[in-house]
Amino acid sequence: MVPKSYKTKEFDLSGLTGISDKTLEMHFKLYDGYVKETNRLNEKIAETLKDGKVDHEEMPAYSELTRRLGFEYNGMVLHEYYFGNLRRKGEPEPEKSSSFRKAAEQSFGSFETWKTDFASVGKMRGVGWAICFEDLENGRLSNHWITLHEVGNVAGFKPILVMDVWEHAFLLDYKPAERPKYIDAFFANLDWKAVERRLRAADRVSRAA
């Protein structure tokens, strides 16, 4: 059954390396705000649609609510991907035989080059996200910079590995200029099995190898 609204998901992540419980507690609250705001926008839009039309007078407010969907939906979903690819006692690298490693090698030449690219995207100035996407058409991986939450996502591509590089993700633990240290901490807590499960073209990639 299609749910009427979105529910805030729970993530058990206390005790990470280099990302404090205090940061996580604050970050979960921010994420919860995106879920609530997504639901609120949908309710407001549904109210407007109740009489079966969008009046000329309603159009400015309706347009603003609809434009904000991109920010709130992506703010909700990207945080779920981000928390979902972290774990206590993470592994620094994916297994040698993993489909992710194979896809990274085929897309970038080597896992190390993929990692350099992904971490470098994360170090770009500005607030946003570094995201490794999979092109579901051919299994190719590419790393992208997402400004805020909604600018730069590729339509139809699937997020495989998501790193939040807004300052709220690390400012309680590191200075603003220490983002590279946070990126190291992110990699120290990575759940590569979760990343592997997201890869849709796993079969195709291993067949081609």
Binding site for Fe ion (CB under 5 A): 164, 166
Of residues 169 and 202, the one with the C-beta less far from Fe ion: 169
Of residues 24 and 141, the one with the C-beta less far from Fe ion: 24
Q: Nearest to Fe ion by Cβ — which residue? A: 164
Q: How far is the CB of 125 from Fe ion (least distance, A)?
A: 17
Q: How far is the CB of 77 from Fe ion (least distance, A)?
A: 12
Q: How far is the CB of 45 from Fe ion (least distance, A)?
A: 25
Q: How far is the CB of 8 from Fe ion (least distance, A)?
A: 14
Could you give the strand order of the β-sheet that contains 158-164, starting from the edge strand earlier in sequence? Answer: 141-147, 128-134, 158-164
What tokens appear for 53 in the block?
């039309």
Task: Give the Å distances, CA to CA, from 54 to 37, 45, 48, 69, 197.
Answer: 21, 10, 7, 17, 42
- Residue 108 has φ and ψ, to the nearest 5°, of -120, -5
Which residues, in sequence order, are bridge partners of residue 142?
133
Q: How far is the CB of 164 from Fe ion (least distance, A)?
A: 4
Are the CB atoms for 151 and 178 separated by under 8 Å? no
Closest CA to 19 of 11, 27, 9: 27
Of residues 117 and 164, the one with the C-beta less far from Fe ion: 164
Of residues 164 and 191, the one with the C-beta less far from Fe ion: 164
What 3-state class would DSSP assign to 207?
Answer: helix
Closest CA to 156 of 140, 131, 135: 135
Of residues 34 and 108, the one with the C-beta less far from Fe ion: 34
